Amino acid sequence: MQLDILLRHASVSAPRLPALERLLAVAKRATFSGGADVWACRTFGVKQQQDFPIAPFAAKQDGLDTADAYWLCATPVNLQVTRDRIALAEDTLNLSMDEAQALKSSLTRHFTELDFFVPHPQRWYLRLKEPPAITTTLLEQAFRRDVSGLMPLGSDAKIWRRAINELQMLMHAHPVNEAREHAGKLTANSLWLWGGGVMATAISPYATVLSEDVFVSSLAGRGAKPLPTSWKELSAESTLVVLDAQSGWEALEERWFANVLHALQTGQTHGVRVCLAEEDKVHVFSIKRRDLWKLWRRTKPLADYLNTPLS
């Protein structure tokens, strides 16, 4: 079995992880520009349009008909205003569907020319008849950063920035957000527009893709399956597993990386690639079974393998 693992949010603070650290210590490595979504597009042969077209693939996986239209992700986010900047919070809002629909209804009444879709409380989309003359910043590359320099660019940018300002005012004063603020919850005070494009062709290099990520699952097509409950459910074919560090490092170490190390040691797999995704780069670690004999390679904390220069 040839196995690739894509780990989102690898920069999330981690404890010592013996199995993962052992794998990384003996690996050959390379670092590439772009985060997890860019890596996925390149791996599945999806070319950049104005943006990398995340929205049409994700919307299709969420049950929408994405043919013959331009789609944008319109993700509800929390913008935090400080004295010297406006930053995008990375914390999950955990909107309920009732909250999401109430916000969407107000925006639809105000922006009659925009076609909003809310198949999931945290995943909203905009459908446009014609491609707007803008480029956007991927959501994962905007977290925790000052958003003033990350807004849409292009000849239509002024129109879209004006619309974003209007929707922010509507959302800020909305009863849903007033109730959330009163309850001590993060408010959904803006939408982050990103990942625009029209549907394209994706070619999967994997027989199976195990993922809860709607975008990667859509790229995989018929090869997509949910993450299994047990390592033993993996097939003997080429497989991509998509994990998220936000789900908890201890569980990932026990359920996945310890089993990967054991599979290499016992010859159940002849090779593994561990792809650690940060906001704007992916570190790819390639490990063969024979690499485990590099006993002189000392293990290091995960953080020491991140934030390296691009190849």
pLDDT tens readout for residues 295-304: 888 999 999 9
pLDDT at position 90: 81
Higher pLDDT, 105 or 229: 105
178 plus 59 within the same structural domain: yes
97 plus 70 within the same structural domain: yes
- Alpha-carbon dihedral sign for residues 294, 297, 303, 309: negative
236 plus 280 within the same structural domain: yes
User: Is residue 139, in this structure, part of any structural domain at all?
Assistant: yes
Cα separation, 181 vs 98, whole angstroms: 16
Q: Where are the alpha helices (DSSP H) in the chain?
A: 18-25, 36-43, 54-61, 97-110, 157-172, 175-182, 214-220, 249-252, 258-266
Are residues 299 and 22 in contact, defined by beta-carbon separation less than 8 angstroms? yes
3-class state of residue 24 by DSSP = helix
Which one of 148, 175, 197 terminates a domain? 197
Instruction: Please classify residue 135 by burial: count the beta carbons closer than 10 Å to its beta carbon, then call 0-12 exposed, 13-18 middle and 19+ buried.
Output: middle
Hunting for tokens 């950049």 — which residue is that? 48
The model's confidence at residue 236, banded by pLDDT at 50, 70 and 90, is low
167 plus 293 within the same structural domain: no
207 plus 191 within the same structural domain: no
The model's confidence at residue 229, banded by pLDDT at 50, 70 and 90, is confident
189 plus 207 within the same structural domain: no
142 plus 271 within the same structural domain: no
User: Two tokens at 192?
Assistant: 């982050």
Which one of 158, 180, 197 terminates a domain? 197
Indicate the average pLDDT of the chain.
Answer: 92
Span 171-196, average pLDDT:
96
The model's confidence at residue 308, banded by pLDDT at 50, 70 and 90, is low
227 plus 292 within the same structural domain: yes
The model's confidence at residue 285, banded by pLDDT at 50, 70 and 90, is very high
User: Is residue 59, in this structure, part of any structural domain at all?
Assistant: yes
15 plus 132 within the same structural domain: no
The model's confidence at residue 310, banded by pLDDT at 50, 70 and 90, is low
Domain containing residue 30 = 2-45+202-305
High-pLDDT (> 90) share of the chain, %: 79
38 plus 59 within the same structural domain: no
193 plus 208 within the same structural domain: no
User: Is residue 311, in this structure, part of any structural domain at all?
Assistant: no
Span 286-310, average pLDDT:
86
Q: How many domains does the chain have?
A: 2
70 plus 182 within the same structural domain: yes
Which one of 157, 180, 197 terminates a domain? 197
